[in-house]
Amino acid sequence: MSRFFANTVASVVKPPTLVLLLPESQASWCQQLSEEGYNVILVPYPSQADALQNSFSDIRGSARLENDTEWALVTFGLESADLAFAGDLLSSGKLKACAHYCPQIEDGKGLVHELTTGTTLPTIFHLSAKQEALHASLQEIAEKAVGIPTSRPPPVTIYTYPFVSTSPLFPFEAGPPIDHASGKVSSIAPYLRSANNLSYTRTLALLRRELGPNFPFEKLWERHTYFEFEERDAPKTMATMVSTPYVNHVPTMTGGVGYQDLARFYKYHFVRENITPPDTELITISRTIGADRVIDEMIFKCTHTTEIDYFLPGIKPTGKPLEIALVGVVAFRGDKLTFEHIYWDQASVLVQLGLLEPGKLPVAGVEVARKVVDPFGQPSNRLLTRWKESEGLPID
Boundary of a domain, candidates 186, 210, 234: 210
Residues 6+ apart with CB under 8 A from 241: 224, 262, 336, 337, 338
Q: What is the pLDDT of residue 359?
A: 84
Q: What is the pLDDT of residue 206?
A: 97
Q: What is the pLDDT of residue 243?
A: 93
The region, left, alpha or beta by phi > 0 then psi within -120 to 50, assigned to residue 222 is alpha
pTM of the model: 0.92
User: Rounded distance, CA 295 to CA 286, Å?
Assistant: 8
Is the residue at 188 inside a domain?
yes
Verify that 56 and 178 share a domain, yes or no. yes
- Which letter does DSSP use for residue 111 in this model? G
Q: What is the pLDDT of residue 160?
A: 97
User: Rounded distance, CA 161 to CA 142, Å?
Assistant: 18
Looking up residue 61, the CATH number of its domain turns out to be 3.40.50
Distances (CA, A) of 27 to 22, 42, 103, 195, 196: 8, 7, 19, 20, 16
Neighbour count for residue 14 (Cβ, 10 Å): 10
Verify that 245 and 296 share a domain, yes or no. yes
Is the residue at 387 inside a domain?
no
Verify that 261 and 303 share a domain, yes or no. yes
Is the residue at 268 inside a domain?
yes
User: Rounded distance, CA 208 to CA 131, Å?
Assistant: 27
Q: Which helix (H) or strand (E) holds 101?
A: strand 94-101
Question: Cα angle vertex 35, ends 29, 36, to 5°?
Answer: 95
Is the residue at 11 inside a domain?
yes
Residues comprising the chain, all counted: 396
Task: List strand residue ranges (DSSP E) for 304-371, in order.
Answer: 321-333, 336-344
Is the residue at 384 inside a domain?
no
Verify that 273 and 172 share a domain, yes or no. no
Q: What is the pLDDT of residue 5?
A: 95
Buried b (16+ CB within 10 A) or exposed e, 343-371: ebbbbbbbbbbeebeeeeeebbbbbbbbb
User: Rounded distance, CA 185 to CA 177, Å?
Assistant: 9
Verify that 39 and 21 share a domain, yes or no. yes
Q: Which helix (H) or strand (E) holds 208?
A: helix 190-210
Residue 381: what are its φ and ψ, rounded to 5°? Answer: 70, 25
Verify that 205 and 222 share a domain, yes or no. no
Helix/strand/coil for 17: strand
Verify that 12 and 133 share a domain, yes or no. yes
Verify that 206 and 224 share a domain, yes or no. no
Per residue, the 3-state secondary structure of 65-94, as one string, reads CCCCCEEEEEEECCEHHHHHHHHHHCCCCE
Looking up residue 281, the CATH number of its domain turns out to be 3.10.450.50
Q: What is the pLDDT of residue 151?
A: 65
| Contact criterion met (CB below 8 Å) for 287 and 294 | yes
User: Rounded distance, CA 264 to CA 229, Å?
Assistant: 16
Verify that 155 and 8 share a domain, yes or no. yes
| Contact criterion met (CB below 8 Å) for 102 and 138 | no
Boundary of a domain, candidates 177, 210, 243: 210
Query: How far from each other are the two terminal CA atoms of the chain, in whole angstroms?
Result: 66
Verify that 24 and 51 share a domain, yes or no. yes
| Contact criterion met (CB below 8 Å) for 136 and 107 | no
Is the residue at 363 inside a domain?
yes
User: Rounded distance, CA 247 to CA 265, Å?
Assistant: 10
Number of domains in the chain: 2
Boundary of a domain, candidates 171, 194, 210: 210
Distances (CA, A) of 339 to 253, 305, 314: 14, 28, 25
Q: In angstroms, what is the C-alpha Rg of the chain? A: 25
Is the residue at 198 inside a domain?
yes
Owning domain of residue 225: 217-373
Verify that 276 and 232 share a domain, yes or no. yes
The tens-digit pLDDT sequence of the chain (396 residues) is 789 999 999 999 999 999 999 999 999 999 999 999 999 999 999 887 777 777 777 676 565 666 677 899 999 999 988 887 776 677 666 889 999 999 999 999 889 988 877 888 999 999 999 999 999 999 999 988 877 666 678 899 999 999 999 889 999 999 998 887 766 777 789 999 999 999 999 999 999 999 999 999 999 999 999 999 899 999 999 999 999 999 999 999 999 999 999 999 999 999 988 899 999 999 999 999 999 999 999 999 999 999 999 999 999 999 999 999 999 999 999 999 999 999 999 999 999 999 999 888 999 999 999 999 999 999 999 999 899 999 999 998
**In sequence order, what DSSP letters do the residues of 217-251 get, joined into one string?**
HHHHHHHHHHHHHTS--HHHHHHTEEEEEEEEETT
Q: What is the pLDDT of residue 180?
A: 74
Is the residue at 386 inside a domain?
no
Verify that 54 and 171 share a domain, yes or no. yes
